[in-house]
Structure 1
Amino acid sequence: MATNKDHIKKALNERDGFQVWWRLLRPHTLTASFVPVFIGTMIALNTDGIQIPVFLAMLLASILIQAATNMFNEYYDYVRGLDSEESVGIGGTIVRDGIHPKTVLRLALVFYGIALLLGIYICMVSSWWIAVIGLVCMLFGYLYTGGPLPISTTPFGELFSGLLMGTVIIGISYFIQTGEINSLVIFISFPVAIFIGCIMLANNIRDLDGDEKGGRKTLAILLGRKNAVRFLGLLFFVAFYFTAYLIIVGFLPLWSLLTLIAVIPTIKVLKGFKGKTEPLEMMPAMQLTAKTNTIYGFLLGLSLLIHYFI
């Protein structure tokens, strides 16, 4: 006889075996780590050239930290009783697949350990100041769902994730290649930070009812579902408007107009949230928000790569 857990797993197309561990990583969120490293490196390519091994080390370290953050989220939400068999938007590794919570926590710490080793290499070829910044990023990754007052339970989750995963990671990716930082890099990072913040906002819109019952005070809860979706649309508009501004003033090449292709999925995201109240109904829109970040970020990085060769 099928249980409610079985129904949820079927609705989310969750399978056993390797997919259990793949879902734990929450792969649709990992673009938030790939995109900033790619863009920061492409800006450096147009400035002073790049070292491929340093780029690959930074990319892998960033992905590992993001994946570990997702695991901390899975573990601490379970410990606090916020996740259940019916929860949508999680890996479900603990509550639906029966993986021991401590196993998830240990795996997150292993990922952090590997990222730390990669960070040591990056520092050796760039600057040891990166160690300080990297450790701060790792600390905030933990505090996002860990600690006495998790950032994810406050209205500042979008701000912290956007700035750290967007502006800071782009800045680090540029600095380790060039040995400097400038206003150009900071300005170009702003739209990326907004898109990453949008991923978190979309996640919180989907989880609004459950988060409210769990005592969270996310931005989506404070705004209400309808206004939160409107605010999501405003953030999309600001990101594209600022991108256009950067092109007009010459901070970005004309090739960066390619990023406007990402307008198409943003419209679909807003339509996907409109009138929806159930987490399962909103899941496609949330995932498309992450894909929109991928499309925008890849096209922005690609435009900088094209500009370098042309």
Structure 2
Amino acid sequence: MVEYQEIKGDKGWRIWWQLTRPHTLTAAFVPVFLGTVLALSYTELHWGLFSAMLVASLLIQAATNMFNEYFDYVRGLDSKESVGIGGAIVRNGVKPKTVLYLGFSFFAIALLLGIYICMLTSWWLAGIGLVSMAAGYFYTGGPVPIAYTPFGEVTAGFFMGMLIIIISFFIQTLTVEPIAWIVSFPIGLLVGAILLANNIRDLDGDKENGRKTIAILLGRKRAVYFLATLFIVSYAWVIGLIVTGYISFFALITFFSIPKAIQATKGFIGKTRPIEMMPAMQATAKTNTFFGFLLGIGILLQFFILS
């Protein structure tokens, strides 16, 4: 039984911050940054649109985490011993409905920012944005949550990886060039890898609760191999982009993130307890962050030096 209490003071600030699961927010920042950087070769930067897109993406990611916290609690999946959760409800006594309403409040602010973006670009984005928000809600909400199926990684990779890059590119240029789709692919893989790492960590508990994630279907050992494959394909994709001339050799700085990918893969090998796998999951999230940020820096160097 969780005892609900009033949260305030310095402790309260930390509780609300942890509820957003800050280590996941880079999955929203990196695609916006990368899509905007790609657009610089076609137009001047509109800071207002960039800022609105960035904040909206962060809010949607944070809200998705809150819905995850709420619905996992309602379904009895979270406890004080659960690893990798914000813990606002089961550890800190925040009322479940408060977490749910806060998630919807974040969605509302993101919606207002979306209206601003549409006013300056295209109202077609309104439909795309609503579908993206629905995907965030139904990831753990609804009668058949996406997170309980083998499609969680694909959904996250597309909506929180590829689509954000493409939208960030579009709102700056009012067009979608092939480069935006092509460069977004490895980011989609790495965002999906974050969810895969999470599901590898939670494999035993998820299996007991009837989930059918990719990690469960493959088994722990093969799931780790699959994670390593996602890393390998992502770096190979960068080489392919350089060889085919889509991006310059400056993008090779992306390879400085390889140690994190190796750390993530090795961190899962031979581990079965969730707490033991937390460093590997964190390394997976950092791989996405470093990879995307360094790729963006490489494209910026290309823009300023070779243009």
Counterpart CA distance in 1 for 2:281 and 2:225 is 15
Q: Which amino acid aligns with 2:12?
A: G
Which residue of structure 1 lines up, in the alignment, with residue 294 of structure 2? 299
Counterpart CA distance in 2 for 1:161 and 1:116 is 19
Which among 94, 98, 121 is matched to residue 99 of structure 1?
Answer: 94
Q: Which amino acid aligns with 1:273?
A: F
Say whether the 8 Å CA contact 1:198–1:232 is kept in structure 2: yes
Which among 219, 228, 241 is matched to residue 214 of structure 2?
Answer: 219
- Residue 243 of structure 1: how far off its partner (Å): 1.1
Considering only aligned residues, what root-mean-square deviation do their CA atoms show, in Å? Answer: 1.1
Which residue of structure 1 lines up, in the alignment, with residue 182 of structure 2? 187
For these two proteins, the number of residue pairs brought into alignment is 297
Q: Does 1:235 align with 2:251?
A: no
Which residue of structure 1 lines up, in the alignment, with residue 81 of structure 2? 86
Which residue of structure 2 lines up, in the alignment, with residue 258 of structure 1? 253
Counterpart CA distance in 2 for 1:210 and 1:96 is 19
What is the correspondence of 1:118-129 to structure 2 with a 5 Å cutoff? 118-129=113-124
Which among 263, 267, 271 is matched to residue 266 of structure 2?
Answer: 271
Which residue of structure 2 lines up, in the alignment, with residue 308 of structure 1? 303
Which residue of structure 2 lines up, in the alignment, with residue 26 of structure 1? 21
- Residue 248 of structure 1: how far off its partner (Å): 0.8
- Residue 16 of structure 1: how far off its partner (Å): 3.8
Counterpart CA distance in 2 for 1:304 and 1:251 is 10
TM-score, normalised to structure 1, is 0.94
Residue 42 of structure 2 aligns to a residue whose secondary structure is helix
The list of structure 1 runs, each at least 4 consecutive aligned residues, that deviate by more than 4 angstroms after superposition, is none
Q: Which amino acid aligns with 1:100?
A: K
Q: Which amino acid aligns with 1:218?
A: T
CA offsets 1:277-310 (integer angstroms, 9 cap, x no match)? 0000001110111011110011011111122211
Which residue of structure 1 lines up, in the alignment, with residue 151 of structure 2? 156
Which among 15, 31, 35 is matched to residue 40 of structure 1?
Answer: 35
Q: Does 1:281 align with 2:237?
A: no
What 5-or-longer segments of structure 1 have no aligned partner?
A: 6-14
Residue 197 of structure 2 aligns to a residue whose secondary structure is helix
CA offsets 1:10-57 (integer angstroms, 9 cap, x no match)? xxxxx9432211110001111110000000000001222220111010
What 5-or-longer segments of structure 2 have no aligned partner?
A: 3-9
Q: Which amino acid aligns with 1:151?
A: I
CA offsets 1:79-105 (integer angstroms, 9 cap, x no match)? 011111111111011011110000000
Counterpart CA distance in 2 for 1:257 and 1:173 is 23
Counterpart CA distance in 1 for 2:300 and 2:48 is 18
Say whether the 8 Å CA contact 1:46–1:304 is kept in structure 2: no
- Residue 262 of structure 1: how far off its partner (Å): 1.1
Q: Which amino acid aligns with 1:141?
A: G
Q: Which amino acid aligns with 2:131?
A: V
Counterpart CA distance in 1 for 2:113 and 2:303 is 28
Q: Which amino acid aligns with 1:59?
A: L
- Residue 258 of structure 1: how far off its partner (Å): 0.5
CA offsets 1:190-225 (integer angstroms, 9 cap, x no match)? 000001000000000001111111110110011111
CA offsets 1:174-205 (integer angstroms, 9 cap, x no match)? 00000001221101100000010000000000
Q: Does 1:204 align with 2:199?
A: yes
Counterpart CA distance in 2 for 1:209 and 1:97 is 25
